[in-house]
Amino acid sequence: MQHDIDALMRDYQGDVPGASVLVVRDGQPVVRRSYGMADLEKRIAAAPRTNYRLASVSKQFTAACVLLLVEDGRLKLDDPVKRYLPGLPAAADGITIRHLLTHTSGLIDYEDVMDPADTRQVHDADVLTLLQAQDRTYFAPGTGYRYSNSGYALLALIVERTSGQRYARFLHDRIFQPLGMSDTVAYEAGISDVAHRAFGYSFNDGAWTRTDQSTTSAVLGDGGIYSSINDLAKWDAALYDERLLPANALREAFTPATPTDDPQVEYGFGWRITGETLWHSGETIGFRNVIVRWPQRHLTVVVLTNRDDPEPYEMAKKIGALAMDDAATD
């Protein structure tokens, strides 16, 4: 299987932006392999401990934070969002936390209302400010689906307001530290550092150019976590038992809550659901990632890359098929 995976990953090998691949079967990492470079300029090779910006793979962690607060009795999924963020306009009156989790809020995408002339990085609190000026939604809450980074930025703020902690600190104290994810961090420039950091790149005019940060890269709730395949193996393990969340909370997160704009895909809380798989991709300037889980088979594939293209979902499914074939011949 390793040889076949190496062949699939050949474009990531050498002096190019790299990738890390994890295959976990029955709780054991059977493949933990990295390719190419985490840092082209310093010629630092990618390794299993290399931390990539997860982009929207971060959303499953934001959802878990909300579920932890539900278990704490601090909030309920059907609470109105304006109970915690009262500055939102009247158009947001009907939006609940559940709507935010499932992309059924109808909230305006904050990227669409940012000032293109402003080159400063936007943070979660800035997303709220932008949305407070938008007394409109794409549709009435709960009547449609539209993937919403805005919703997950607001969820991070709700976590802060109900817990009394910075969102990054809550993640650390309630998820990363208890699970031993020692190098995983919701990155805040000037506050935290990313150990063993991969930098993002894009291929322009025949060469790789560092494109590591954009104006939206500092928004944490929708995509600001950095992690490695080493740490994500620990996260995957915690999704099978009750060390972090009780079984009923996990079951709700993994249950289809809404159809999406793809007839093959439904959405839970921070997870896409296709057939027997739970998965989520993440893409941002310089990074393309995916986690695909086959819970009934106790199989997970993670592919993290520090380049703008290609999107690795199809690659992860091919790796999953190889792992299934390998298991069948054991």
* Residue 31: CB atoms within 10 Å: 20
User: Is the CB of residue 258 less than 8 Å from the CB of residue 171?
Assistant: no
Closest among 238, 225, 237, 239 to 184, alpha carbons compared = 225
Closest among 217, 220, 200 to 208, alpha carbons compared = 200
Q: Kindly report each contact of residues 8-13 with a partner whose C-beta sits within 8 Å and lies 24 or more positions away, as own/partner.
A: 8/315, 8/318, 8/319, 9/33, 9/35, 9/315, 12/36, 12/305
Dist. CA 23–CA 229, nearest whole Å: 9
DSSP string, 118-164: --SPP-HHHHHHHHHT----SS-TTS-----HHHHHHHHHHHHHHHS
Q: 10: which 2 tokens?
A: 């050949």
Dist. CA 218–CA 189, nearest whole Å: 8
Whether 56 is a known active-site residue: answer yes
Determine which one of 56, 58, 148, 281 is catalytic: 56
Catalytic residues, by residue number, are: 56
